Amino acid sequence: MSVRPYYVPVATEEQVFKAAFNQNLSILLKGPTGCGKTRFVEAMAHDMQRPLITVACHDDLTTADLVGRFLLMGGETKWVDGPLTRAVREGCICYLDEIVEARQDTTVVLHPLTDYRRQLPIDRLGLTLDAAPGFCLVVSYNPGYQSVLKDLKDSTRQRMVAIEIDFPPAEIEEKVVAHEAGVDPQLASQLVRLGQAIRRLENVGLREVASTRVLIAAGRLVCEGLPLPVAAKAAVTGPLTDDPVVTAGLSELIDAYFEDE
Amino acid sequence: MGRFELLASAIVGRSVTIERTQEKCGAWTDGKSIFLGPDASETAVLQCVLVQAALLGAGSFEGEILDRLVRSTKLCRRYLFVEGHRALEALEAILPPSARRLSDPGIAALSKSPSDSLAIASGRQVFANPPEAFGMIRPRQIRRRIVAGGSDSAPPQYQPRSPARELLRDLDDEVEDLFEGPDLVSSPIGGGGAIGRVLKRLFRSRPSSKTGPPGADAPTHRSRRGTRVSGNIGLAPATLPESTSGDAFAPRGLTYPEWDVHRGRYRPDWCTVTPVDSPPSAPVIFTLPNVTGIRRSLSHLGVALERRHRQLQGIDIDLDAVVESRVQTMSGSVPEEAVYLDLVRGRRDLGVLVLLDVSGSSGEPSTGSGTVHEQQRKAAASLTVALAELGDRVALYAFRSQGRTAVQVERMKRFDDRMDATVLGRLGASEPGAYTRLGAAIRHGTWLLARESGVSRRLLVVLSDGFAYDHGYEGAYGEADARRALSEARRLGTGCVCLSIGASTDADKLRRVFGTAAHASVSRFEDLPNVITPLFRFALRAAEAQRRKSQHTIRAKERLALEVRSVA
């Protein structure tokens, strides 16, 4: 058996997930970018011993991309299952990352799957698949995401059980950063302190705040021997903003936090 | 953005500015800004900023505490000593490590909350003076801010920089007024001298109370009664634009005709539009309003899913293409591989120019909160940001006028400029003044759109209170010209949207000014997302129809000319 992906529970999210899984309910994960949604699903898939199929949703994701399509091979047409169909047939956990990015006409295909019917109609094949035991649909959704052009349909939302995941509290985040980046706890706590400060910045031109993910990246750069301020500027400032004024302000902030380094 | 501004904002949890003053005293804050002395070293500055920001972040000046502090300077000092340590300790988790050197856990442990600190400070316990890095507390300044509407709990707002002169005059807590006595140096007319005050009252002008040395405080607002204001005008002089290659402006400014409704004809070359660059503004933090709602409303404009045949990949098999491909294979030629059908999102190809009315009338209080100018500015910022984020070509210009030869159009963001903090800073620094020659500004905007946007779908958004007024541009004349300019723009295929936000102008008047152009009046900026989608859609559709019609006319004329020639 493989190793369980590293995930430290913050609240009751693990119990809720397992209960929903056992009750064949679909799950809606809400939370900011880089707070650990994907890692959480991986850990849960491991605990529930189900294979995980992840689909990163994007603007032009069509129903055919999820369900499957006919391809022309030689002189014949051949049906190829999409990731969702495969998950339904084999009883996998299907994780649709950033579901709001997908077009609304695409998300409608999930409806019969997410209520009591647990069916996937495939009109091109003229058949309706019943979900195999162990199938679970998990979608993630970032409510504050700045590039959100559309919201999730209410009819879709209400078919799900919602689990809210936020950035973990400082002491847990320190543990996570230390583990994932392989740095000592003291350095992890310095990085987390910086992250917490940046998260308090609002409306200064940052589209997103410093996530646990960028803090881990900074930590990993330090592991390679980079000085802490350099690593933090590369991993935190650069990805967060392109604005020269905000960049300068963030660099100053980093210098203030790591002046002893 | 000043040094450590972002750091301070992070600690406080909202926008805070940092300002340098010329007075030699410790750091202090008025709740929105942190003020530092002139010659503090870098480390000292950082420490001062940390302490003052921690005080603000830990809620040290809330509620009744201020009322108590106002009464006694000694209490302020003692409170600062106790509360400073407590605040540093309370925010320990987010403060930089250097803050730890400042705080004394022993003293911090005495108090659990600001009111605890106040109780201890009012007690008999003997305390040393607070360390130098703690600066001082000026409760009156903080309270004045709250009265002025910038309370601690209020959402962050745009905040004008106050010049050092005014700042010093306000320091009534512990510093004696250095500028007491009659003002003998400054000009008696514009400044604060005795004659100036009399003259000002006489001319019904009011000082802008914002910026500038004596003599330049610009009583430039228009009055509804049309009283001529004789004070000096606070506009930047019409500067020649730099002659860069990408500069589309003619060096002298541009002349535009004006519609004379009384005679029923145009006055050719009547108005001169001078492009003005925003003066290099002092850094102003202009807090961007939440644009998610507006962006969502605008995102669906002009994008529809389109069914494309004969694609290399797609959602379904394109039967016609497959049949042909089979025929090609059977007949021995190389078959076509593009046999799929796909749904592709259309491109919107949209260019928008936002024209912001910064004439004096927009300085009036709005029906919502703040002035009309503040509401319009928020709308301009969010429209520009939202459209830029959606990938549209967008430009932002502000206009005001002072007679027909001085219509000033200020560039805040050109089509090719990035949407960044500089643009927001310019917007934040803009102040209402002078008059509104709407027609010339609209013609200039249309010209800029046609020339610089480089896209086929063009939209002109005019943010104005609809009060067209200038020298020789009153009443029906001005309204008719504005209306005419809008219909000219539409004839050229440019959609027009006119938005009036927070202005008290009545619907009839707006209709007279904006004519049949898509226009709406909302009382608050927050209501904007609800109205813009239909407005934009209507304007784009009207422009599209007009463009097709004019293309059709042009083609018909060409055909006719050809036929005439062939007959001849």
B288/A201 Cβ within 8 A: no
The model's confidence at residue A150, banded by pLDDT at 50, 70 and 90, is low
Same domain for B394 and B326? no
Tell me the β-bridge partners of A139. A28, A96
Q: Buried (b) or exposed (e) across B157-188, using 16+ Cβ within 10 A?
A: bbbebbeeeebbeebebeeeeeeeeeeeebbb
CA torsion, ordered A80, A83, A88, A91, to nearest 10 deg: 120
Residues B110 and B133 in one domain: yes
Q: How confident is the model at residue B518 (pLDDT cuts 50, 70, 90)?
A: confident
Strands B17-20 and B33-36: parallel
Residue B300: pLDDT over 80: no
> What does the pLDDT average to over A153-174?
90
Which residues have C-beta within 8 Å of that of residue B225, sequence separation ≥ 6? none
Residue A257 has pLDDT above 80, yes or no: yes
- Judged by CB atoms closer than 8 Å, whether chains meet at A243 and B299 is answered as no
> Whole-angstrom Cα distance, residue A179 to residue A220?
10
Least confident piece of the model among A142-151, A178-187, B46-55, B344-353: A142-151
What's the whole-number mean pLDDT along residues B83-93? 88
Quote the Cα angle for B378-B383-B385, to 5°: 95
Residue labelled with tokens 């730099």 = B242
Q: Bin B318: left if φ > 0, else alpha if -120 < ψ < 50, else beta.
A: beta
The residue assigned the tokens 């980093």 is: A254
Please check whether residue B296 lies inside any domain of the structure.
no
**What's B98's DSSP letter?**
G
CA distances from B52 to B85, B98, B119 (A): 11, 14, 21
Residue A221 pLDDT grade (very low, low, confident, very high; cuts 50, 70, 90): very high
What whole-number percentage of chain B has pLDDT above 90? 9
> Do residues B358 and B337 share a domain?
no
Cβ contacts of residue A23 below 8 Å, gap of 6+?
Answer: none
Contact B276, B408 (CB under 8 A): yes
Which pLDDT score, from 0 to 100, does residue A204 have? 64
Q: In degrees to the nearest 10, what's the CA dihedral of B464, B467, B468, B470?
A: -110
**Cα-Cα-Cα-Cα dihedral sign, residues B45, B48, B52, B58:** positive
Confidence of residue B232 (pLDDT cuts 50, 70, 90): very low
Nearest residue of chain A to residue B326 (CA atoms): A75
Nearest to B222 by CA among B67, B360, B371: B360
Query: Whole-angstrom Cα distance, residue B119 to residue B460?
Result: 60
Element (H, E) at B542: helix B528-567
For chain B, percent of residues with pLDDT exceeding 70? 78
Contact A77, B340 (CB under 8 A): no
Residues B230 and B277 in one domain: no
Nearest Cα to B405, choosing from B488, B472, B358, B353? B472
Do B407 and B451 belong together in one domain? Answer: yes
Q: How far apart are CA B297 and CA B534, in angstroms?
A: 9
| Token pair listed for A220 | 């990993």
Separation between Cα atoms, residue B217 and residue B205, nearest integer Å = 10
Within a domain: B107: yes
As a whole number, mean pLDDT of residues A109-124 equals 91
> How many separate domains does chain B show?
4
Query: Has residue B561 been placed in a domain?
Result: no
SS3 A236: helix
Query: Quick check: A223 and A183 in contact, CB under 8 A?
Result: yes
Q: What is the pLDDT of residue B148?
A: 62
B525 domain residue, yes or no:
yes
Quick count: other Cβ atoms within 10 Å of Cβ A244? 12
What's the CA gap between B272 and A178, in Å, rounded? 65
Sheet holding A136-141, edge to edge: A52-56, A93-97, A136-141, A26-30, A160-164
**Cα B515 from Cα B509, distance rounded (Å):** 10
- Selection from B231, B471, B466 nearest residue B372 by Cα: B466
Residue among B385, B375, B478 nearest B432 (CA):
B375
Residue-wise burial string across B263-288, b where 16 or more C-beta atoms lie within 10 A, e elsewhere: eeeeeeebbbbbbbebeeeebbbbbb
Contact between chains at A253 and B6 (C-beta distance less than 8 A): yes
Mean of per-residue pLDDT scores for chain A: 88
- Alpha carbon distance B355, B398 (integer Å): 6
- Is residue B560 a part of any domain in this protein? no
Task: Check residues B204 and A261 and name the one with the higher pLDDT.
Answer: A261
Q: What is the pLDDT of residue B283?
A: 57
- In a 3-state reduction of DSSP, which class is residue A201? coil
Query: Please, which pLDDT band fits residue A54 given cuts at 50, 70 and 90?
Result: very high
Nearest CA in chain A to B286: A204
DSSP letter (8 states) at residue B349: -
State mean pLDDT over B198-227: 40
Minimum CA–CA partner of B92 in chain A = A193
Q: How confident is the model at residue A90 (pLDDT cuts 50, 70, 90)?
A: very high
CB contact burial B491-511 (16+ within 10 A = b; e otherwise): ebbbbbbbbbbbbebeeebbe
Q: How far apart are CA B459 and CA B450, in angstroms?
A: 10
Q: B1 to chain A nearest CA, in Å?
A: 7
Q: Which residue has the higher pLDDT, A211 or B231?
A: A211
Count of alpha carbons within 13 angstroms of residue B104, beta-carbon side: 13
Query: CA A35 → CA A173, A195, A239, distances in Å?
Result: 10, 12, 15
| Residues 143-162 of chain A whose Cβ lies under 8 A from any Cβ of chain B | 146-151
Residues of A in contact with B317 (CB under 8 A): 70, 72, 77
pLDDT score, position A131: 94
Whether the per-residue pLDDT at B241 is higher than 50: the answer is: no
Residue B18 has pLDDT above 90, yes or no: no
Give the best-scoring range by mean pLDDT among A1-5, B53-57, B104-108. Answer: B53-57
Give the C-alpha separation, B356 to B433, whole Å: 12
Query: Which two three-digit tokens encode residue B108?
Result: 């911090």
Q: B264 and B393 in one domain? A: yes
Are residues B354 and B341 located together in one domain of the fold? no
Instruction: Kindly state whether residues B77 and B142 are assigned to the same domain.
Output: yes
- B383 or B220, which is more confident? B383
Residue A111, token pair as written in the block? 């409806």
Alpha-carbon distances, residue A199 vs A204, A243, B57, B227, B402 (angstroms): 11, 17, 14, 52, 46
Closest C-alpha to B395, from B448, B440, B439, B357: B448
| Sign of the dihedral through C-alpha B442, B444, B447, B453 | negative
Chain A contact set for B11 (CB, 8 A): 197, 200
Most confident of A177-181, B281-285, B348-352, B505-509: A177-181
Chain A CB contacts of B97 below 8 Å: 190, 193, 257, 259-260
Is B180 part of any domain? no
Same domain, B204 and B86: no
| Residue range B526-559, pLDDT digits in tens | 888 888 888 888 888 888 788 778 778 888 888 8
* Nearest residue of chain A to residue B290 (CA atoms): A203
pLDDT at B316: 85
- Confidence band (pLDDT; 50, 70, 90) for A68? very high
The pLDDT of residue B313 is above 70: yes
Please tell me the distance in Å from A260's CA to the nearest CA on chain B. 8
B268 and B380, same domain (yes or no): yes
Residue with the two structure tokens 């030869």: B405
DSSP codes joined into one string, A29-42 = EE--TTSSHHHHHH
pLDDT (tens digit per residue) in B122-147: 888 888 888 888 888 888 888 887 76
pTM of the model: 0.60
CB contact under 8 A, B97 and A243: no
How does pLDDT run across B150-171, given as a tens digit for each residue? 444 443 333 333 333 333 333 3
Whether B341 and B353 map to the same domain: the answer is: no
B251 pLDDT higher than 80: no
Eight-class DSSP state of B468: -
pLDDT of residue B101: 82
Select from A64, A146, A260 the Cβ nearest to the Cβ of B316: A64
The residue segments making up the domain with residue B152 are 5-170
Using CA atoms, how far apart are residues B85 and B106, in angstroms rounded to an integer?
9
Q: Are strands A93-97 and A52-56 parallel, antiparallel or unpaired?
A: parallel
Q: Which of A213-227, A237-251, B259-273, B481-495 has the highest mean pLDDT?
A: A213-227
Does B189 lie in the same domain as B145? no
For residue B242, tell me if it sits in a domain: no
Q: Is residue B405 part of a domain?
A: yes
Contact partners, residue B78, CB within 8 Å, separation at least 6: B121, B122, B127
Q: Do A200 and B422 touch (CB under 8 A)?
A: no
Q: Which residue of A has its CA nearest to B293?
A: A149
pLDDT bracket for residue A144 (50, 70, 90): low
Whole-number mean pLDDT of chain B? Answer: 76
Other beta carbons within 10 angstroms of residue A48's beta carbon come to: 15
For chain B, the C-alpha Rg in angstroms (whole number) is 30
Pick from A69, A243, A252: which is nearest to B4 by CB? A252
- ipTM of the assembly? 0.70
Task: Note whether A59 contacts B: Cβ–Cβ < 8 A.
Answer: yes
Which of the four pLDDT bands, split at 50, 70 and 90, describes residue A182?
very high
Query: How many Cβ pairs within 8 Å bridge chains A and B?
Result: 111
